[in-house]
């Protein structure tokens, strides 16, 4: 196991979660407000879900391998394949879509923001797992309530 010297800051954790929520929300609101058929909306939603899951899975697999945790080659290959498949599906879908160029850019940017943020959030969760939970905050607030 790798010993971390510093845990992620609250600002980075907050920025990561904010970017993830904003990216996913923007993408979904864009789909909701679009004039696409329901099956097209479902396609783009499925692409986002596949990509979010595969990005987190790929990041975890790579990090496990770098930290000496055994992973199977097939799982790493599936993670890479699913990641590139989701990306390819978005590119092909947007290339062939009858959308304005600005709409295509909107979907691409909110997609990339969500993917990057999902990796950052997973990294933060993993990094925080190496540090013990600070229960002193809870103990001090409880001890102050007790009067002698």
The confidence band for 3, taking pLDDT boundaries of 50, 70 and 90, is: low
Which pLDDT tens digit goes with each residue over 11-30?
A: 999 999 999 999 999 999 99
59 confidence band (pLDDT: 50, 70, 90)? very high
Q: Is residue 57 part of a domain?
A: yes
The b/e string for 99-115 (b: 16+ C-beta within 10 A; e otherwise) is: beeebbebbeebbebbb
For residue 4, tell me if it sits in a domain.
no
**Is 101 inside a domain boundary?**
yes
Q: Which domain holds residue 48?
A: 24-131
Select from 36, 24, 29 the least CA-distant residue to 94: 36
Q: Tens of pLDDT along 103-118?
A: 999 999 999 999 999 9
Instruction: Examine residue 41 and state whether it is found in any structural domain, yes or no.
Output: yes
Q: Is the pLDDT of residue 47 over 70?
A: yes
Q: Has residue 85 been placed in a domain?
A: yes
Region 91-100: mean pLDDT is: 93
Q: Is residue 105 part of a domain?
A: yes
What is the pLDDT, as a whole number, of residue 139? 54
pTM, full prediction: 0.80
pLDDT for 148 beyond 50: no
Q: Establish if 73 belongs to a structural domain.
A: yes
The DSSP call for residue 115 is: H
Band of the pLDDT at 134, cuts 50, 70, 90? low
Q: State how far the Cα of 43 lies from the Cα of 33, in Å rounded to an integer.
A: 15
**3-state SS string for 36-105:** CCHHHHHHHHHHHHHHHHHHHHHHHHHHHHHCCCCCCHHHHHHHHHHHHHHHHHHHHHHHHCCCCHHHHH
Can you tell me the mean pLDDT for 81-95?
A: 96
- Sign, CA dihedral 21-26-31-33, equals positive
Q: Indicate the number of domains in the chain.
A: 1
**pLDDT at position 101 over 60:** yes
> Of the candidates 111, 116, 61, 50, which has an alpha carbon nearest to the alpha carbon of residue 83?
50
d(Cα 91, Cα 108) in Å, to the nearest integer? 8
Q: What is the mean pLDDT of residues 52-77?
A: 93
Residue 102 inside a domain? The answer is: yes
Mean pLDDT of the chain: 88
pLDDT of 133 reads 72
Rounded Cα gap, residues 127 and 124, in angstroms:
5
């Amino acid at each position: 196991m790798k010993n971390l010297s510093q845990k992620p800051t609250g600002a980075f954790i907050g920025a990561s979660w904010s970017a993830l929520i904003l990216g996913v929300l923007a993408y979904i609101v864009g789909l909701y407000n679009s004039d696409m058929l329901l099956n097209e909306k479902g396609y783009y939603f499925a692409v986002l879900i596949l990509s979010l899951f595969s990005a987190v899975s790929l990041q975890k697999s790579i990090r496990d391998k770098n930290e000496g945790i055994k992973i199977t080659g097939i799982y790493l290959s599936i993670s890479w394949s699913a990641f590139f498949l989701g990306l390819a599906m978005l590119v092909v879908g947007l290339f062939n879509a009858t959308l304005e160029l600005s709409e295509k850019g909107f979907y691409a940017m909110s997609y990339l923001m969500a993917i990057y943020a999902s990796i950052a959030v997973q990294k933060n969760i993993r990094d925080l797992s190496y540090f013990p939970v600070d229960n002193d905050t809870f103990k001090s607030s409880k001890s102050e309530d007790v009067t002698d």
